[in-house]
Amino acid sequence: MKKLEITVPITEVSFEELTPIQQRLVELAREATYRSYAPYSHFCVGAAIELDNGEIVTGANQENAAYPSGTCAERSACYYAHARYPEAKFLQIAVAARGTDGEPVADPVAPCGACRQALLEYETLAGHDVTVILVGREKIYILPSVRSTLPLAFSEF
């Protein structure tokens, strides 16, 4: 028998410790929460993706009366990014959220499993790590790659 252990490297930083482009991504992700359509959960999520063509693409969760038809912020951003700029590679993604009280969430928001899986495909297409920035009210987590958020990911069949 062999025991395997997977560890996830997370760096906790303040806003001031981010690079200027990362600060911009955080601001745009926060702004994007105001374009969320979340009349059912009242949980507003925004995402901002930096592409290697210099563009930044944002997304926000879009809900629907038929609940499963809705889409998370991360997937709305990554699908739009690739639909708009199919040749561009992803560099970094920031995710921010406001809770049901309308205020930014205290702890960094974590993408759901489906979004991790979707983002992983674009990291694979990019051929390099895509930095993941998870934004809370005061603390911010930086993960070195999408893969690090989804150990044992499904990738081939």
Question: Counting contacts by CB under 6 A, is residue 28 touching ligand THU?
Answer: no
Question: Counting contacts by CB under 6 A, is residue 32 touching ligand THU?
Answer: no
Question: Counting contacts by CB under 6 A, is residue 22 touching ligand THU?
Answer: no
DSSP annotation string for 4-43: -------EEE-GGGS-HHHHHHHHHHHHHGGG-B-TTT--
Residues in the chain: 157
Closest CA to 148 of 36, 15, 6, 25: 6
For ligand THU, which residue of 23, 30, 41, 104 counts as binding (CB under 6 A)?
Answer: 41
- Least separation in angstroms between residue 37's CB and ligand THU is 8
- Least separation in angstroms between residue 52's CB and ligand THU is 24
**Of 50, 63, 74, 123, which one is the catalytic site residue?**
74
DSSP annotation string for 75-125: HHHHHHHHHH-TTPPEEEEEEEEE-TTSSBPSSPP---HHHHHHHHHHHHH
For ligand THU, which residue of 29, 57, 58, 63 counts as binding (CB under 6 A)?
Answer: 63
- 82 phi and psi angles, rounded to 5 deg: -75, -30
Q: How far is it, in rounded angstroms, from Cα 133 to Cα 48? A: 10
For ligand THU, which residue of 27, 70, 99, 117 counts as binding (CB under 6 A)?
Answer: 70
103 is catalytic: no
Contact region with ligand THU (CB under 6 A), list: 1-9, 37-45, 50-58, 99-107: 37-45
Looking only at residues 101 through 130 of this chain, which bind ligand THU when binding is defined by CB under 6 A? 109, 111-112, 115
Catalytic center residues? 74
